[in-house]
Chain A
Amino acid sequence: MLRDALLVCGKDLRIELRSKIGINQVAPFAAAVLLLFGLALGPSRPALQAAAAGLFWVAVLLSVVLAVQRSFAVESADAARDGLRLSGLDPAGIFLGKGAAIVVQLLVLEALLTAGVALLFGARLSGGLVLFAACVSASIGLAAVGVLYGVLSSGARVKETLLPLLLLPVAAPVLLGATKAWDDALAGDPTHAGVWLSLLAVFAVLYVAVGTVAFGPLLEDA
């Protein structure tokens, strides 16, 4: 299973490096989201600073939808799942591999967005460890739910609208936890964030476990 996961992760990342969709499309999309938030809520600095964490994570959440859709679009357009099923790969391995590839992409995106938030909203970056921990656990949780719902909707013809509808509500706790953790860190009170970080960790562990088990049956459904 792990061998397959590494194989799939490597393949997905290599494809991403070649096609550069993440750099060319997803990152600019996230940046645009931040800009639009700025336009909608600004230009008064205090308002933006106070909302920085939340806006950051909303931008990440929206980008996850794109990343997941891309991850499944890569598996040959017509027969998105046939290829994976025929390959002989362990479905749990496919789940972990695809999830890991998305986590890597998310972390890169979050690094860029952190700079964006500091720049555009004047967020003072403190409590870096908490910020980073929140990013890692939130990304894992989001990738897990994303791949799970991604495979579920990849067979549907309405998948473009189905995936966001499914993914965003379920990801609400991640949004909440990550935003609160970041709020605490940015306000200079990182110790408070413990509760939120544990929420993120629970979510991540739970959905990685669920996904490992449920991905196989969901992949099978024609």
Chain B
Amino acid sequence: MRTDRALRALGVAALAGMVATVWLGLFVTPNAVGFADGTVRLLYIHPPLAWVMFIAYGMATLSSLLYLWPRTRHRRFDRLAGASAEVGVIFTGLTLVTGSIWGRTTWGVWWAWDPLLTTTALLFVLYLGYLAIRNVPGDPETVARRSAIAGLVAFLDVPIVFFAVSWWRSLHQGPTIDLATRHSYVHGSMAWTLLLGFVSFTLTYVWLMAHRYRLAALKDLEDDQGLETALAERWAEAVR
């Protein structure tokens, strides 16, 4: 099938990209000035992970919105939201781990309560809550609607949290991430590798999403067919 082949091509491309990123990142690009030995390598995976995390979250929120909007109400958006949340939770966890490692090597602490990472941690917990809500039993439309509303309610919280934590941190003298300094050292082969990292992680996200979505669609199909059987069994109860 065409989609199968396209998916496989996508998977191969994603894998190739990731391998290339790792190889380039570990062996080819130089050590950067101002970073502890070797930690610049994290530059090639941490920002891409965070980027994908935001895409996933945005996708889940957008799909929830589309599902709730009467004109675009369709089960596919609910499946998209669920798939995106599941994939997103993985990337969020990885973002937290790589961020923490970076913090350890750069500032000597495993966790520095900086605004971005703290918001990410909160996002992680919100994702988990969202997935918990999706698992509450009910008929598909009910679950979809309930999850969509819950997703939006959680989404509204994220900017508030970010600002709150930023204000909170700005009152304390402590290590802060300065995005500018991070990127001012990025040029040449580093820049290309970083770009490659972004691209390959995004491809990986799309590939994972496609498979997860397919799984959800198949499950819905099975459930719908199960309805016919269930109806028949119910009628049979009346035959005495």
Contacts and interface: CB of A to CB of B under 8 A. Distances in A.
A touching B, CB within 8 angstroms: yes
Interface of A: 145, 148-149, 152-153, 155-156, 158, 162, 165-166, 169-170, 172-173, 176-177, 180, 195-196, 199, 202-203, 206-207, 210, 214, 217-218, 221-222
Interface string B131-166: 011001111001001100110111011001101110
A165 B128 CA distance: 9
Contact of A202 (B149, B160, B165): B160
B146 A218 contact: yes
A170 B154 contact: yes
B136 A155 contact: yes
Contacts of A210: 152-153, 156
B153 A195 contact: no
Given A156-B136, A158-B136, 9 more contacts: A148-B153, A153-B136, A165-B129, A165-B132, A169-B122, A169-B157, A170-B157, A177-B164, A206-B160
B138 A222 contact: yes
A172 B163 CA distance: 12
Contacts, number: 79
B165 A176 contact: yes
A152 B133 contact: yes
A184 to B, nearest CB: 10
17 contacts: A148-B153, A152-B133, A156-B137, A169-B129, A170-B154, A180-B167, A180-B168, A180-B171, A195-B167, A196-B167, A199-B167, A206-B160, A210-B152, A217-B149, A218-B146, A218-B149, A221-B146
Prevailing SS type, chain A contact patch: helix
A194 B172 CA distance: 17
Contact of A152 (B122, B150, B160): B150
Interface in B84-123: 122
Contacts of B156: 206-207, 210
A176 B163 CA distance: 11
Prevailing SS type, chain B contact patch: helix
Contacts of A176: 164-165, 168
Nearest to B128: A165
A202 B160 CA distance: 9
B118 to A, nearest CB: 9
Contact of B153 (A170, A173, A199, A222): A170
A149 B132 CA distance: 13
A153 B153 CA distance: 14
Contacts of A173: 157, 160-161, 164
Nearest to A214: B149
Given A169-B126, A222-B138, A214 B153 contact: yes
Q: Which 3 A-B pairs have the closest CB atoms?
A: A156-B136, A169-B125, A173-B164
Contacts of B150: 152, 166
B133 A166 contact: yes
Given A152-B146, A218-B149, A172 B122 contact: yes
A145 B171 CA distance: 27
Nearest to B127: A169
Nearest to A159: B136
A168 to B, nearest CB: 8
A121 to B, nearest CB: 21
B49 to A, nearest CB: 21
